Structure 1
Amino acid sequence: MSLISTYRALYPELLVKSRHNDIPDSPVARDRLRALIAQARSDLQTCLIGSTTWRQVSRVLELQESLLAPIRTLPSEVLTEIFQAVLETSSKPGIAYSSQESTKLSGRIFLLTWICFWWRDEALSCHTLWSRIMVNDYSKALPTSTVTPFLTECILRSGVSVPLSIEISLLRYENTLPAVITMLVARAHRWTQAALTFSFPPQIDILFPFKPSSTHFPLLEDLSVRSYHYRTTGRVPNPILESHPPLQKLELCDLSESYTDVIKSQNLKILKVGCYSGVSLARLLYIFPCLEFLTLQSFKFEGNSGAYQVTCQSSILTLDIGGDRSNEDKVENGAWTGVTLPTLTKLDVTLPDLIDHHHWEAAYEADTSLSELKEVVKRSKCALQRVNLIMYAEQYERLVQPQLILQTADKFFEGLPVKAEGSFVENESLKKWMEGQRSSSEV
């Protein structure tokens, strides 16, 4: 029998063993396989590189060596941890479906099930690998006939009690839900993390057309509700919040103080709000005493602005102010009255649009919210470890004098209790940024 015929006959048997992880289970069997590997390597040396025989011997040798690979002897628990790490570092860590991008499900988990029967069995038996699901519904186009049953099977693989991480984007205007979303909503009691995006906030009623008392979210710790037109929100009821989930992280486009009594979680640690309307920020910090991270784009007074209270918030570690660069959306003057933050260690500030010289020169007048924020930091006597100023300076170099941009940064950091190595402008060290600004102004 010729060399190529011999290896062609070996290949199907080795392929089956590889797919079923049929590794040699005794020292004698392993020695025999090592001898076959040595013979295959020797035969490969006699073949012309790139020839049909060379390719056939190479394929057999690859399967033989694979059967002795250490990864094939890993305990199930270790292999599952590797799978988890692969998914977490993937751009699509979960199961994804988009009516705009594809006609089928996607996700790195499926690739893991295609390697061999052993990996497939391990992946299918690990419920947590199937617990992250993303559905983006952009159009009127219904999912293909294969998507819904396949997603049903994937949900079943997540078991009956494993917490689910859900991402739903409902960007259509119809009042009906496709089955792929309905299946996720039916398991809302298992949600531990949920990111919901709508064209308009009232669409949340399409997902949950029920009274708050009719369902519960006992596991939900992380909730994000976004809308592309959040200015239309007003005080749209949120059936999820009204069921009082045990939230630790909350992200909303719009929040009114009159609605905060609905959020009963005293354990809330992270709050991200586009626009907060209320009496003062001191009141907001009083309502959520355990906050460690606060992101706020803008603040608008609502109610009796004179009825402020003094709040010493001893949990806040990180404060991120600004982000919406519109002049209309900013933290109104007087918002910081009565606030002290003694444990603050990180501060991020984004300036609004400063269109002309007047805006830049007025940015640090005594009655501006930015000056008030600096006063909060000073009177709090906190030890800041990192301060970052976002000012989009490059966009204004042709509109204002470079020296004015430098002065703006100087005034911002003046008096702040932060060391030089912890001072940044647009995520670049202050010293390096200033050197770059001076160099560009000289050119």
Structure 2
Amino acid sequence: MNNQGQGFLVNVFLHDEEEARQVRVEMEENKQLMASLDAEIAKANAALQELLNQRAAAQKLLESNHAPSDGEARAIRDIIRSKESLFQELTGKIGDAEAELDTALSQAEGDADPQVENARTVLVGLLQERDAAHETLEAHRALLSPIRRLPPEVLGEIFIQCLPKDPPFVQARVDRCPLLLLQVCSNWRETALCTPALWASIRIDITTNSCLPNLAFVKTWLDRSGSCPLSFQINESLQMDHYEEFMTTASSILALYAPHYHRWRNVHLEYEDWRIDTGFSKLHRGLEPPESLETLYLARDFWRTNEEAQLLLLLSAPQLQSCNWVSNTSLADICVSFPQLRRLFLERPVARDVFMRILDEGASLSVAQFFVLATPSSHSIGPQNDLRILRHNLTSLDLTTDLFGPLFNQLELPSLIHLSVRRFNNIPPHPTPVWPQEAFMSFLARSKCALQTISMNDTDIAPSGMSEFLRHVSPSLEKLVLNNDRRMRHVIVDDDVLRLLTRREEDADECVCPRLAMIKFWDCHRSTDGVLADMIESRWKTKTSAGPGRLLNIAFLILEGAVDHPEDLRRLNVLNEERLGITILRR
């Protein structure tokens, strides 16, 4: 019926059937063409929608820190290519706009010319558009960054490497790791919270007014640490008045860590007030020494008698490698030996017999700091006339004592490379010399050690004794520190010592201390003007024919009566301009 009506309408306007047939063919072709166009439009719309979806996904990725999928990565690369093309196009237009502005400026009579203003407006608009395109381009490039494809385990390990290594205690601050990591994105936050090692270390400071961080925060921090070995530092600093509110905080914090006693690795406990309840009572007496404990720092004026059992547990830890003991309570009262300890620092006095016993029992000690009262007293334990020589493999010894001779006479340290000596209770000036030169040189000869560093503080070794020492340690010495109290007014370094240290071309093979790289002469030096500069210059210049050896890199000097050393000052300043490293204090 429809065909008949259609044929009737066609026949009305056409002369014959052939023309009508042709018209019907053309109409059919047009219908097919329209259908094809509709399909193309639908396909284009679908592609457009897919592109919009991809752009939306890319925008969503920009707001997160997730790794893009393969399809998202392809879409991002397409966006990057389009932005790069746009950026290049804008760069070309900016060049043209700058040229137009230059032309307008050359033709205009003033900056207010309309053509100049229009050229500037166009240029500013193009620059802003280029900056926006560049920002978008860099943001999309960042989406393909390899860090987004890292597994959580690897990312967590990277986070762990962001923690401070020295000291091994983390301050809970929002601008430092690990709290800083929680603020980057949800993915990083989740990874950080699921990485126990990030929360295994903390520093806690307790003052009269606060505890930072507070107890609840410390508990949350501890809960996140999982089963990792723990490192924690508690610093208590309370004043005498109005401290009741916080006097039990240290005990409460240690009570949080007491159930995890077996996980303690690095422990630093510092209590200013001896009345504070430290919380050691929370450690049961029946516990075994902590297997994981490696470093221990204990600072308190006096430890109570009922705390000694818990202290012994910590000091007897089988893996303990480093211990600092800062207390008026003697280690002899704890009755502990250190067969496995490698580093021991005692900052309070011990008797000579205790010092010798600790060394005798601590065969593994390598680095030690001792404060020894070697003068015999009525409180000394054991015979003071025991002259048995103790051989030990210490490599570094920091020794403060009131009497050096008895100690030098009883020690043999063949592995010693760093030695620091400091005289205690020196009442300057000394009425008579107290430095035991013969005992010191016998100690060095007996030990046959290759000293690299020597630091002498508040000693009255004579210049002749210093020269003898320098000749003895000449092949190995690299650092020489001589530091005296100004009130002593004792000369250790004079013209003879300086001339001995001066490198000369004619006796290059006989140069004393050719490896010397650092010196410090502090309130112990007196010489003729120019002699000090001769010595420094002979070891300072980058080009020298004075034989083999290292260059001097650092020099700390005090010049008494600087007006009497104009030549030294002038030449040393010239050397310091050539290569920094010389510090001069003038008096």
In structure 1, what is the Cα distance between the partners aligned to 2:555 and 2:78? 69
In structure 2, what is the Cα distance between the partners aligned to 1:94 and 1:43? 53
For 1:334, what is the secondary structure of its paired residue?
Answer: helix
Once the two structures are superposed, what CA deviation does each residue of 1:234-288 show, in whole Å capped at 9, x if it has no partner? 978444432132221111014636335334x411111000122351533221121
Identify which range, 113-122 or 344-353, moves more after superposition: 344-353
Contact residue 293 and residue 318 of structure 1 kept, 8 A: yes
- TM-score, scaled relative to structure 1: 0.73
Question: Does residue 268 in structure 1 map to residue 341 in structure 2?
Answer: yes
1:116 equivalent among 164, 169, 185: 185
Contact residue 94 and residue 109 of structure 1 kept, 8 A: no
Contact residue 289 and residue 313 of structure 1 kept, 8 A: no
In structure 1, what is the Cα distance between the partners aligned to 2:488 and 2:410? 35
Once the two structures are superposed, what CA deviation does each residue of 1:139-177 show, in whole Å capped at 9, x if it has no partner? 254668xx4444333222210x21011101122365422
In structure 2, what is the Cα distance between the partners aligned to 1:260 and 1:393? 36
Structure 2: gaps spanning 5 or more residues: 1-53, 95-122, 459-480, 502-511, 523-534, 540-551, 567-587
Partner of 2:515: 421
2:397 equivalent among 309, 319, 326: 319
Q: 1:19 to 1:28 in 2, by over 3 A?
A: closer
In structure 2, what is the Cα distance between the partners aligned to 1:298 and 1:202? 27
Once the two structures are superposed, what CA deviation does each residue of 1:29-64 show, in whole Å capped at 9, x if it has no partner? 453243244256448756848987666545533421
2:80 equivalent among 16, 29, 34: 34
Counterpart of 1:315 in structure 2: which amino acid? N
Shift of 1:123: 2.0
Over aligned residues, Cα RMSD in angstroms? Answer: 4.4
Partner of 2:420: 348
The 5 Å alignment of 1:83-232 reads: 83-88=159-164, 94-96=169-171, 107-141=176-210, 147-159=214-226, 161-172=227-238, 174=244, 175-177=247-249, 179-201=252-274, 203=276, 205-214=278-287, 216-227=289-300, 230=301, 232=302
Partner of 1:4: none
Structure number with the higher helix fraction is 2
Question: Does residue 442 in structure 1 map to residue 509 in structure 2?
Answer: no
Question: Does residue 379 in structure 1 map to residue 435 in structure 2?
Answer: no
Counterpart of 1:213 in structure 2: which amino acid? G
Contact residue 135 and residue 181 of structure 1 kept, 8 A: no
Contact residue 266 and residue 289 of structure 1 kept, 8 A: yes
For 1:220, what is the secondary structure of its paired residue?
Answer: coil
In structure 1, what is the Cα distance between the partners aligned to 2:521 and 2:256? 42
In structure 2, what is the Cα distance between the partners aligned to 1:95 and 1:273? 25
Shift of 1:226: 1.5
Counterpart of 2:207 in structure 1: which amino acid? Y
In structure 2, what is the Cα distance between the partners aligned to 1:28 and 1:199? 63
Contact residue 430 and residue 488 of structure 2 kept, 8 A: no
The 5 Å alignment of 1:284-323 reads: 284-300=358-374, 302-306=380-384, 308=386, 310-322=388-400
Counterpart of 2:159 in structure 1: which amino acid? F
2:68 equivalent among 10, 18, 23: 23
For 1:245, what is the secondary structure of its paired residue?
Answer: coil
Partner of 1:101: none
Structure 1: gaps spanning 5 or more residues: 1-8, 98-103, 323-328
Counterpart of 2:371 in structure 1: which amino acid? Q
Q: 1:305 to 1:132 in 2, by over 3 A?
A: same
Shift of 1:105: 6.8
For 1:362, what is the secondary structure of its paired residue?
Answer: coil
Of structures 1 and 2, the one with the larger relative CO (CA 8 A, separation 6+) is: 1
Contact residue 171 and residue 198 of structure 1 kept, 8 A: yes
Shift of 1:94: 4.7
Q: 1:306 to 1:332 in 2, by over 3 A?
A: same
Counterpart of 1:96 in structure 2: which amino acid? Q
In structure 2, what is the Cα distance between the partners aligned to 1:162 and 1:150? 18
In structure 2, what is the Cα distance between the partners aligned to 1:128 and 1:51? 48
Q: Percent identity?
A: 19
Identify which range, 188-197 or 278-287, moves more after superposition: 278-287
Question: Does residue 64 in structure 1 map to residue 119 in structure 2?
Answer: no
For 2:222, what is the secondary structure of its paired residue?
Answer: helix
Partner of 1:362: 433
Question: Does residue 404 in structure 1 map to residue 491 in structure 2?
Answer: yes
Q: 1:192 to 1:142 in 2, by over 3 A?
A: closer
Partner of 1:259: 333
- The count of corresponding residues between Structure 1 and Structure 2 is 405
Contact residue 298 and residue 324 of structure 2 kept, 8 A: yes
